[in-house]
Amino acid sequence: MPEKPIIQLENVWKVYQLGKVELTALKGISLDINRGDFATIMGPSGSGKSTLLNMIGALDFPTKGKVFLKGKDIASLSENQLSQLRGKTIGFVFQEFNLLPNLDVLENITLPMVFQGVGLEERKVKAEKLASSLGLKERILHQPAELSGGERQRVAIARAFANDPELVIADEPTGNLDSITGK
């Protein structure tokens, strides 16, 4: 029996109501993402790329259609169930980093592990290893405001891998990195 896709979208539509105007961002998207897949979403500004990433990441619900995360219809899950499943399954690298300004690098990287119940010592060891692998060892106690844009991006990348996700969703993950670091 073949393995279920990690993410499955079935005829997904997303329509935003902007005052009296309806804006259709997604029209009938069907997509399976399986273990080992590498997918790129490309298109002009305003074409629905970020909306599609939000659907793939189970961060938003479709206006029409269904989104399945590891075979479970996200609309049928409680917010807590969805958060737990998403936290175990998906790592996110957001375009705007979404680092917490009052937490240092180590704490920002460990945050997803806290929500998954990982013990303090294991969180610290793993976060230090991730930070070191991304050239952030000397910056681990710095807060985001004390980091360059590229360093903040690397913290966001480390955080995305904190829970060993099956799927990583990255919205322009190398946009703030130089070409060598990006590779």
pLDDT-based confidence at residue 178 (cuts at 50, 70, 90): low
DSSP string, 15-84: EEEETTEEEEEEEEEEEEE-TT--------TTSSHHHHHHHHTTSS--SEEEEEETTEEGGGS-HHHHHH
Residue-wise pLDDT tens digits, 26-60: 999 999 999 889 999 988 888 999 899 999 999 99
pTM for this predicted structure:
0.82
Third-level CATH fold of 7-77:
Rossmann fold (3.40.50)
Instruction: Domain ranges for the chain, please list them.
Output: 7-77, 105-182
Q: State the average pLDDT over residues 131-152.
A: 94
Mind listing the pLDDT tens digit for each residue in 159-173? Answer: 999 999 999 998 876
Phi, then psi, of 86 in degrees rounded to 5? -60, -45
> For residue range 147-161, what is the model confidence (pLDDT) as tens digits?
998 899 999 999 999
